[in-house]
Structure formats: C-alpha cells, structure tokens
C-alpha cells in the first residue's frame, strides 16, 4: 500500500471546470458566497490506527428514516445536522439530497456511508473501535454562514464528546 502523493496542481481543464462551476453557483443561487479556508488546520493522529476510535461524517444527506429529512425545497439549502447512532441497522438509513445521484446509495448506503464496512474493519482489528455517534449534513449550502457559525462548532463538540480520534468523511 503506497501513500505517495503530490500537491494538487490545477490542469487548465480543471481550472476551466472550477470557474464554470463557480459561475453557475453565483448565477443560480441567490446569496451564494465563495468561502475558502484561510489556513489549513492540522491534527496528526497521535496513536496507531489499530487503537483509534473512528467515526463517520457525510455531507451526503444521510439520516435515520425515523428522523426529520433534510429540507431540499429551500433554495438556500439546509444547514442543520442529523445524529446517526453507529449501532443502527444500515437498512434504517435514508438519503435526502437533490444535488448528486444517490441511486446507488439508496440500494446500498455503504457506498457513501460505509458503516457496515467500518464494523468489519473493527472486527478485523484494523481500527480500535467505532464512536457511538456519527453525524450528517446535507451539503447544499450556497451561503455557508449558518453552517460555519452554528453547525460546524456543534459538530466539533459532538465528535469530541463521542471520544473519536479520527473522522472519516464523504461528501454529497
């Protein structure tokens, strides 16, 4: 298993795609703002993977079927989050998100939210354990003001309270 990596350099095609995407967002969504991280934070893992408590986070709109679905009708998106107990049966999870094709995730949630796979890796000893709670948002937020001022701090606190060392994240 190699972990060679390179700093990501935009190719001209990627630059054009990014500019197109940003232009579409700015025209199509009232109140959209282009927010980027001014500095990248860095917290290295302080113990071997086999001792780490791992949790899941997704912006793919995953939630318990019994929970309130995300609001996909609001043109300004939905900045709220949902809690998912990691002891849940994955057949009780659903996706509410209208900005990516979740046909496959409807048939098998593990291709976006790999809770069953994480349990197998825990049983094999690759990770130390799974935190009791995972969290989810619906990633469509043209103006991330509420998301960053209210949801992100709440999520950081919630993940700390679960005792997680590492958060595995997928985006919708």
Task: Tell which positions 6-25 bind other proteins, by CB under 8 A.
Answer: 7-8, 10, 14-15, 17-18, 21
Task: Tell which positions 100-129 bind other proteins, by CB under 8 A.
Answer: 100-114, 116-118, 120-121, 126-127
Instruction: Examine residue 147 and tell whether it contacts other proteins (CB under 8 A).
Output: yes
Instruction: Examine residue 170 and tell whether it contacts other proteins (CB under 8 A).
Output: yes
Distance (Å, whole) CA 141 – CA 8: 25
Structure tokens at 35: 């927010």
Rg of the chain over CA atoms, in angstroms? 17
Instruction: Examine residue 165 and tell whether it contacts other proteins (CB under 8 A).
Output: yes
Distance (Å, whole) CA 20 – CA 130: 40
Distance (Å, whole) CA 113 – CA 55: 11
Closer Cβ to other proteins, 30 or 92, answer by number: 92
Return the bridge partners of 104, or none.
none
Task: Tell which positions 38-97 bind other proteins, by CB under 8 A.
Answer: 39-45, 48-49, 54, 57, 59-60, 72, 90-91, 96
């Amino acid at each position: 298993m190699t972990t060679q990596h390179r700093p990501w350099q935009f190719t001209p095609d990627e630059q054009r795609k990014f500019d197109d995407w940003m232009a579409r967002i700015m025209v199509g969504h009232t109140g959209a703002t282009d927010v980027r991280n001014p500095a990248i934070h860095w917290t290295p893992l302080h113990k071997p993977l086999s001792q780490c408590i791992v949790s899941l986070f997704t912006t793919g709109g995953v939630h318990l079927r019994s929970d309130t679905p995300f609001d996909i009708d609001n043109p300004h998106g939905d900045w709220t989050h949902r809690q998912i107990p990691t002891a849940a049966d994955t057949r009780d999870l659903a996706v509410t998100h209208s900005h990516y094709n979740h046909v496959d995730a409807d048939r098998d949630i593990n291709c976006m939210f790999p809770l069953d796979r994480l349990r197998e890796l825990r049983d094999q000893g690759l990770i130390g354990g799974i935190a009791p709670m995972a969290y989810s948002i619906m990633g469509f937020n043209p103006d991330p003001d509420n998301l960053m001022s209210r949801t992100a701090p709440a999520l950081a606190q919630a993940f700390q309270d679960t005792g997680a060392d590492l958060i595995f994240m997928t985006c919708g």
